[in-house]
Structure 1
Amino acid sequence: MDCCSFSSSLSLSLSLMLKPRPPLMTINYNGNSQWSKRKKKRHCLLQVSAISYQNFIHFALDETKRHTLLLPSPLQEKYGSMIAMDEQTRLEMLSFETPKIRLLRSMSIEGEAMQVLDFAAFPKPEFDLPIFCGNFFTTANMNIVVLDLNPLHDVTSRRDYKEKYYDCLLPLGLKYTELLPWGGKLTSESIKFFSPIVIWTKFSSSNSKHEVLYSAFMEYYKAWLELMEQAVEDTDPSQITCNLEAQHRYLTWRAEKDPGHGVLKRLIGEKLAKDLLRNFLFSGIDELGSKTFLDYFPEYGIEDGTINEKRSIIGKGFENRPWDKNGEFIGNDLRN
Structure 2
Amino acid sequence: MSSTRRSSLDPVAIEGWSWQPFLEDAVNSLQPLGIEPYPVSDAFLFKQDQTGSKAKPVSVTTATWACKSEKFRQVRAACVSAGTSASVLNFVINPLPRYDLPFFGGDLVTLPSGHLLALDLQPADKQDNQHTEGVWDRLMPIFDRWRSQLPDGGPIPDEAQPFFSPGFLWTRLPLGEEGDQLIDTVVRPAFNDYLNLYLELAAAAAPVSDQRMEHLLAGQRRYTDYRAEKDPARGMLTRFHGSEWTEAYIHDVLFDL
TM-score grouping bracket, smaller chain normalisation = 0.7 to 0.9
SS for the counterpart of 1:74 is coil
Rounded to whole Å, the distance in 2 between the matches of 1:149 and 1:128 is 12
Alignment CA distance shift 1:72-1:239 (3 Å): same
**Structure 1 position 103, deviation (Å):** 0.1
Q: 1:73 aligns with which of 29, 32, 38?
A: 38
Alignment CA distance shift 1:272-1:197 (3 Å): same
**Structure 1 position 158, deviation (Å):** 2.5
Rounded to whole Å, the distance in 1 between the matches of 2:223 and 2:24 is 26
Residue in structure 2 matched with residue 27 of structure 1 by the alignment: none
Q: 1:219 aligns with which of 193, 199, 207?
A: 193
SS for the counterpart of 2:250 is helix
Contact map agreement 1:76 1:94 (CA 8 A) in 2:
no
Which structure shows the bigger proportion of residues in strand conformation?
Answer: 2
Residue in structure 2 matched with residue 107 of structure 1 by the alignment: 78
Residue in structure 2 matched with residue 153 of structure 1 by the alignment: 125
Rounded to whole Å, the distance in 2 between the matches of 1:227 and 1:179 is 25
**Structure 1 position 195, deviation (Å):** 0.4
Residue in structure 1 matched with residue 28 of structure 2 by the alignment: 62
Alignment CA distance shift 1:166-1:76 (3 Å): farther
Q: 1:129 aligns with which of 82, 101, 109?
A: 101
SS for the counterpart of 2:148 is helix
Any stretches of 5+ residues in structure 1 without a counterpart?
A: 1-34, 36-43, 285-336
SS for the counterpart of 2:101 is coil
**Structure 1 position 76, deviation (Å):** 5.6
Contact map agreement 2:47 2:61 (CA 8 A) in 1:
yes
Rounded to whole Å, the distance in 2 between the matches of 1:195 and 1:227 is 15
Alignment CA distance shift 1:189-1:141 (3 Å): closer
SS for the counterpart of 2:80 is strand
Residue identity in the other structure for 1:61: V
Larger CA Rg, structure 1 vs 2? 1
SS for the counterpart of 1:88 is strand
**1:178 counterpart = 2:148:** yes
Contact map agreement 2:40 2:253 (CA 8 A) in 1:
yes
Rounded to whole Å, the distance in 2 between the matches of 1:216 and 1:140 is 24
- The alignment covers a number of residue pairs equal to 235
Contact map agreement 1:71 1:98 (CA 8 A) in 2:
yes
Structure 2 length as normaliser, TM-score?
Answer: 0.86
**Structure 1 position 207, deviation (Å):** 2.1
Percent of counterpart pairs with the same letter? 27
Kindly provide the CA deviation profile for residues 171-213 of structure 1, in whole angstroms up to 9, marking residues without a partner as x: 1010111122321121101111000111111110222111111
Contact map agreement 2:101 2:131 (CA 8 A) in 1:
no
Residue in structure 1 matched with residue 231 of structure 2 by the alignment: 258
Contact map agreement 2:76 2:91 (CA 8 A) in 1:
yes
Q: 2:137 aligns with which of 167, 170, 180?
A: 167
Rounded to whole Å, the distance in 1 between the matches of 2:110 and 2:190 is 16
Alignment CA distance shift 1:174-1:158 (3 Å): same
Alignment CA distance shift 1:53-1:237 (3 Å): same
Computed over aligned residues only, the root mean square deviation of the Cα atoms, in angstroms, reads: 2.0
Residue identity in the other structure for 2:20: Q
Matches within 5 A, 1:229-308: 229-234=203-208, 236-284=209-257
Q: Which has the higher contact order (CA 8 A, sep 6+)?
A: 1
Moved over 6 A (4+): none
Contact map agreement 1:76 1:95 (CA 8 A) in 2:
no
Kindly provide the CA deviation profile for residues 273-319 of structure 1, in whole angstroms up to 9, marking residues without a partner as x: 100100111111xxxxxxxxxxxxxxxxxxxxxxxxxxxxxxxxxxx
Rounded to whole Å, the distance in 1 between the matches of 2:87 and 2:28 is 22
Rounded to whole Å, the distance in 2 between the matches of 1:204 and 1:144 is 9
Q: Structure 1 stretch 175-184 or stretch 53-62: which is displaced more?
A: 175-184
Structure 1 length as normaliser, TM-score?
Answer: 0.66
